[in-house]
Structure 1
Amino acid sequence: MTLPRIPLAGVIGHPIAHSKSPQVHGHWLKTYGLPGHYIPMDVSSEDLEQVLRALPKMGFVGANVTIPHKERVLDLVDQVTDRATLIGAVNTLIFRDDGTAIGDNTDGYGFIENLRQGAPDWQPAAGPAVVLGAGGAARAIVASLLDAGVPEILISNRTRVRAEQLREDFGTRLTVVEWVQAGNILEDGATVVNTTSLGMAGKSELRVPLDGLNKNAVVTDLVYNPLKTNFLAEAETQGCTTVDGLGMLLHQAVPGFERWFGTRPEVDDATRQAALA
């Protein structure tokens, strides 16, 4: 009699000790009474390819990928989904029984689901979105906002050339605005997103003047440490609906968990508490 293999998954990054993913997936495995384990894996760039080849042979059904490997993994997997190709990064791996590795990106999905849960009345078509930052995270946000039906995106980044690259990649629904002018476009934003690390614990504050925020706007920050950034606190005082960044981390984990362990988990208060524990 052959016993079934216990499915294994984990998160690959360097460093990785800070990751909340093991807490989240561990919570879901326990909540739903599922067999399986989810572990953090600190993998250097030099070892990345070798590790990816070995994981399916060790019983891994998939893995999450985080900084600094999300772009490089694109070239190391056997297949890449359209959305991962568009975003230019992989955050979720699925290993088939034959060892084939498929790379996907669920960051945009997680972002939109977090907005819908945190601001149920959010209407993507209500007006332009303002996106602050043009790094790796911004690509997933821009792609998902356009897909959701936002009519226009006003994007501003400290280094203008990166914002210009996004406009080149995503088209004329993007308008690039100088960083020094970022505060002046906030009144046009029905959705306002900070995709930069500014405001994160240990980082500089986001110094864009926020007095022009539209009080009807939905304002969200990808930073979740602290949970309520000064950016969100200021938006709240101006009457805006605010959505913190923790939910994006939780919702982006849902498709991978479902594929690996066979159950679609719910993102609820208990999930949030598990991530914050």
Structure 2
Amino acid sequence: MNRPYAEVIGDPIAQSKSPIIHGFWLEALGLDAEYRKTLVTADDLPRFFAERREDPDWRGCNITMPHKLAALDHVEDRGDVRSGIGAINTVFRAEDGTPVGTNTDAGGFYAPLAGFDLTGKPVTVVGAGGAARAILFALARMNVGPVTLLNRNVLKAGVLLSSFGLRGQALPLASPLAPDTALLVNASTLGMAGQPPLDLDIDGLGEEAIVYDIVYAPLETPLLAAARARGLETVDGLEMLIGQAALAFELFFGAEPPRDGDDALRDLLTA
């Protein structure tokens, strides 16, 4: 039998840092397994899951854009993720060999915010894609105050807010930020290498505001640079990336990753 493996799929996929993260943990634990990245187009998605279902060495995959919604149609949804978050970022091989979809993005997003009390406080989120779904799911469970969702398609954003039972409003992407925003989250790909920039004026945010950008390529996005220049609390994309990966790693390989090495891992990811 070949070595067990997991992978990350998407289109594009060259930018993914997931193999570095999982490879770091596999080496640290001395596990005889590997983690790959695989380019999968939208048209190839059915074939990909059909082939992996028959591969006994396959332990699962992480899913990045643009497949977080479409992949739900090709795996079992035993946790009813479809009616909860509505998107998956992880598929793991169950004991009976069945590919099962789940979402570790919500937990990965929440982890760096666990020390902050955002109960009842206003939040602004940019984007309404698969990652935004997991983030809104987490925010709803954090009992935050009104949520303003900025998106090109305002109707889509409004429906998304409603689906998570969040009170707030959906506004066009270019709308000014509310000055009482306690948490600003870029949940879109804007600002990512190869994508359009995110043009937000954060000068009106209060001094206690937290700015969270899930983009990790580049790690220092213009949004985070502007926030740090003002002395605001910031959370970069590696926090969520590593957090969600840790939850997925345990599903794939049945072992808890050694999080005491996170500083070394971040150094490796930013080298």
- Is TM-score (shorter-chain normalized) higher than 0.5? yes
Q: Structure 1: how far apart are the matches of 2:83 and 2:270?
A: 31
Q: In the alignment, is the contact (CA less than 8 A) between 2:182 and 2:208 conserved in 1?
A: yes
Q: Structure 2: how far apart are the matches of 1:260 and 1:216?
A: 38
Say which SS state the counterpart of residue 119 (structure 2) adopts.
Answer: helix
Change (3 A) 1:34 1:275: same
Equivalenced residues, count: 268
Q: In the alignment, is the contact (CA less than 8 A) between 2:125 and 2:147 conserved in 1?
A: yes
Note the 1:114-193 alignment, pairs <5 A: 114-116=112-114, 120=115, 122-125=116-119, 127-183=121-177, 185=178, 187-193=179-185
Q: Structure 1: how far apart are the matches of 2:62 and 2:153?
A: 29
Instruction: In structure 2, list runs of 5 or more residues that go unmatched.
Output: none
The aligned residue for residue 12 of structure 2 is 15
Residues 151-183 of structure 1 show CA distances to partners (whole Å, capped at 9, x for unaligned) of 321222232122112123123523223444333
Q: Structure 2: how far apart are the matches of 1:123 and 1:249?
A: 22
Note the 1:125-274 alignment, pairs <5 A: 125=119, 127-183=121-177, 185=178, 187-267=179-259, 268-274=262-268
Q: Structure 1: how far apart are the matches of 2:43 and 2:222?
A: 38
Change (3 A) 1:178 1:49: closer
**1:31 lines up with 2:8 in the alignment:** no
Aligned residue type for 2:74: L
The aligned residue for residue 41 of structure 2 is 44
Aligned residue type for 1:221: D
Q: Structure 2: how far apart are the matches of 1:198 and 1:69?
A: 18
Change (3 A) 1:260 1:133: closer
Q: Structure 2: how far apart are the matches of 1:203 and 1:42?
A: 18
Q: Structure 2: how far apart are the matches of 1:197 and 1:13?
A: 14
Report deviation, 1:126. 5.7
Q: In the alignment, is the contact (CA less than 8 A) between 1:213 and 1:235 conserved in 2?
A: no
Percent identical residues: 41
Say which SS state the counterpart of residue 214 (structure 1) adopts.
Answer: coil
Aligned residue type for 2:93: F
Q: Structure 2: how far apart are the matches of 1:274 and 1:85?
A: 37
Q: Structure 1: how far apart are the matches of 2:239 and 2:208?
A: 21
RMSD: 2.1
Q: Structure 2: how far apart are the matches of 1:19 and 1:236?
A: 25
The aligned residue for residue 98 of structure 1 is 96
Q: In the alignment, is the contact (CA less than 8 A) between 2:15 and 2:217 conserved in 1?
A: no
Change (3 A) 1:245 1:115: farther
The two structures have a TM-score, normalised by structure 2, of: 0.90
The two structures have a TM-score, normalised by structure 1, of: 0.88
Say which SS state the counterpart of residue 155 (structure 2) adopts.
Answer: helix
Say which SS state the counterpart of residue 124 (structure 1) adopts.
Answer: coil
Q: Structure 2: how far apart are the matches of 1:206 and 1:12?
A: 25
